[in-house]
Amino acid sequence: MTHFIVPPHLLRRIAALDEESAGPAPTAARRALREIDDLHRFRVAAAKEPTVRPRSAVAARSPGLLAPSRRISDAQCTESLPGVLVRAEGQDPTGDPAVDEAYEHLGDTYRYFAEVHGRDSMDGLGMPLPATVHYGVRYENAFWDGTRMVFGDGDGVIFNRFTASLSVVAHELVHGMTQFVTQLSYHGQAGAIHESVSDVFGALVEQYSRSQTAGQAHWLIGAELFTPRVSGAAIRSMAAPGTAYDDERLGRDPQPATMDGYLDTEEDSGGVHLNSGIPNHAFYRAAVALGGYVWEHVGRVWYDTVTVADLPSDCSFSLFAEATRTAAERRFGSGSAVTSAVEQAWDEVGVRLPGRSQVLS
């Protein structure tokens, strides 16, 4: 299943701007938007007959023995995949920023999961990490297509090249992990959880690579994406959803931070990139309440929840919240500071935790 980092509401604004300035020519934004619209129709149909994905096991080898297998290809400004292989695992930098950034950021993501969670790649079984750069002409998106990462170069007006952002690379790659370990559908609250999990681990990978505490991190997703011409810090903010950008051309970040602002819509597969701000903010609030290195406490709770909990395909925010509380109790204890912080964070964003249930197997 394909997952894009730039959501439809942003692409629609960009496509409208392109139409005003360039006429009816099929711009990169409109091509990307068409792809997302086609995927939305596919996902709506697929949601009626959910499929069960096999759950992968976490590798049992020592983290010190784990190593990534990266293969970076160049689409050479076409939209043909995979492109020409230009850098494989262990090879020297090429001097092409997009190639070398993709290589390094895939390695950063791999190292986080190996060193913190003992996980051998996204499937837990050492799957290779292929990526393609220079996809399309001025292509304004990056995506995980179910087997590989794909990066556009941006238009240089609104977006920089997408390989520049570690949180974006990690976000998209984590969609791969989520597809292996959960049955979450990509629609409504379950889809928003899917998106939020990618944002959570995108932030964690970045913080781990920079040795940042909760208080030192900026909690932005895609902080490197916008050019200086855009009035905005990133495409999303976990600390303050709804404030990531406020630009005359792009509009204002529409993400809600709490259930009071929940958006009931069929756009964007039921608002998956919009309402993900709510679980994002819950994670942020729990993290900053505890402080220190987030991957040592709340990050472990979220990882346990995703990889161990038997989440239903139509999982709601409240069921996911209960699963995180159960995971916190299992790992840190029912009366622990971590469990209390998780419970309080969900309460602060307006998600009611149901009665205790056997969510974890």
Among residues 140, 172, 329, 343, the one annotated as catalytic is: 172
Identity of the residue numbered 126 = G
Among residues 273, 281, 297, 322, the one annotated as catalytic is: 273
Q: What angle do CA 72, 76, 82 make, to 5 degrees?
A: 45
Q: Is 218 a catalytic residue?
A: no
**What is the Cα–Cα distance from 107 to 73, expressed in whole angstroms?**
15
**What is the Cα–Cα distance from 140 to 156, expressed in whole angstroms?**
9
Q: Which position has the token pair 């529409």?
A: 254
Q: How do strand 70-74 and strand 84-88 relate by DSSP bridges? A: antiparallel
Copy the structure tokens of residue 266: 């069929």
337-348 and 277-290 helices, crossing angle to 10°: 140
Name which of 117, 122, 129 is nearest 61 in CA terms.
117
Q: Omega into 82 within 30° of 0, i.e. cis?
A: yes
The DSSP bridge partners found for residue 144 are 3, 149
Task: Report the sign of the C-alpha dihedral through residues 255, 201, 234, 33, in that order.
Answer: negative
**What is the Cα–Cα distance from 253 to 131, expressed in whole angstroms?**
29
**What is the Cα–Cα distance from 249 to 246, expressed in whole angstroms?**
9
**What is the Cα–Cα distance from 321 to 354, expressed in whole angstroms?**
9
Identity of the residue numbered 47 = A
Q: Is 89 a catalytic residue?
A: no
Q: What angle do CA 55, 133, 112 make, to 5 degrees?
A: 45
Copy the structure tokens of residue 220: 């932005």
Residues with a known catalytic role = 172, 273
